[in-house]
């Protein structure tokens, strides 16, 4: 299997089935893949929609959290269950474009790609969000880049491709998905950002605002900075 597509969702009943169908249409015939949707305690009809979708999409697997545990926990559940060496994540609201997935995979697996290229991060150069969401995201990205020096213009983009084994070796904590570039760099890997399409939300409501985009992550930001300053990467050789 080449790719495991991991989609964390919370109350995305109207969006998830069209998104799964779109991913299947994009990847059909191009890669051996699976789609893992992690329902993070949805209280709407998301579970029912996913049940119906499974009848039409045999490559779809559905995991469920009985209670809401957060996006990072949902991603971790999906990655743990995945069977492919490369993971693609994208948001369940349909704003990330599945048509960008083949480009990310090609960049990561190219013949001349460095062996330590462990993460390809999407870069939404033309955001299709409200002005408040764009401004709060720009501020958060600026603060994060300045403190963590991860050289990633858009660490909040849900569309990413990374190695499964690398992810599982990273420190696991709530909101860790926001700091993947910094954590991968800390582990000795390389990160590349690629421009991706960004689409307007077709239905539902955003789960993010000024509070949970700016302020709730400050403690995590300082924690990741602490981890960076205490990284251990000794050179080891075995004596014969």
Across 112-116, 133-137, 201-205, which has the greatest mean pLDDT?
A: 112-116
Q: Would you list the DSSP string of 144-190?
A: HHHHH----TTTT-S-EEEEHHHHHHS---TTGGGGHHHHHHHTT-E
Q: What is the pLDDT of residue 111?
A: 95
Nearest partner of 176 among 79, 37, 41, judged by Cα? 79
Domain ranges within the chain, ordered by starting residue: 3-229
Where do we find the tokens 């299997």?
A: 1
Q: What is the pLDDT of residue 214?
A: 57
In this prediction the pTM is 0.88
Q: Dump pLDDT digits (tens) for 64-112.
A: 999 999 999 999 999 999 999 999 999 999 999 999 999 999 999 999 9
Sorted by sequence, the CB contacts under 8 Å of residue 205 that are 6+ apart come out as none
Strands in 3-9's sheet, in edge-to-edge order, are 60-65, 33-40, 3-9, 86-89, 160-163, 117-124, 190-196
Please name the fold of domain 3-229.
Spore Coat Polysaccharide Biosynthesis Protein SpsA; Chain A (3.90.550)
Alpha-carbon gap, residue 48 to 39, rounded angstroms: 11
Q: Dump pLDDT digits (tens) for 131-142.
A: 666 676 676 766
Q: What is the pLDDT of residue 61?
A: 98
Residue 91 backbone zone (phi > 0: left; psi -120 to 50: alpha; other: beta)? beta
């Amino acid at each position: 299997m080449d790719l495991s597509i991991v989609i964390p969702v919370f109350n995305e009943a109207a969006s998830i089935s069209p998104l799964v169908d779109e991913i299947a249409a994009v990847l059909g015939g191009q890669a051996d893949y699976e789609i893992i949707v992690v329902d993070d305690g949805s209280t709407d009809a998301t579970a029912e929609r996913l049940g119906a979708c499974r009848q039409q999409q045999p490559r779809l697997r559905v995991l469920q959290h009985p209670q809401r545990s957060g996006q990072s926990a949902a991603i971790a559940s999906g990655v743990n269950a995945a069977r492919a060496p490369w993971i693609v994540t994208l948001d369940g609201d349909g704003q990330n474009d599945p048509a960008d997935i083949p480009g990310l995979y090609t960049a990561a697996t190219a013949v001349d790609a460095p062996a330590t290229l462990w993460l390809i991060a999407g870069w939404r150069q033309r955001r299709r969000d409200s002005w408040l969401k764009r401004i709060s995201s720009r501020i958060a990205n600026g603060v994060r880049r300045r403190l963590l020096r991860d050289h990633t213009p858009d660490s909040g983009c849900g569309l990413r491709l990374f190695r499964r084994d690398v992810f599982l070796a990273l420190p696991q904590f709530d909101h860790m998905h926001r700091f993947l570039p910094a954590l991968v760099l800390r582990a000795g890997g390389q990160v590349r950002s690629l421009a991706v399409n960004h689409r307007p939300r077709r239905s539902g409501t955003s789960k993010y605002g000024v509070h949970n985009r700016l302020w709730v992550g400050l403690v995590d930001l300082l924690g990741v900075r602490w981890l960076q300053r205490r990284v251990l990467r000794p050179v080891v050789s075995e004596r014969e």
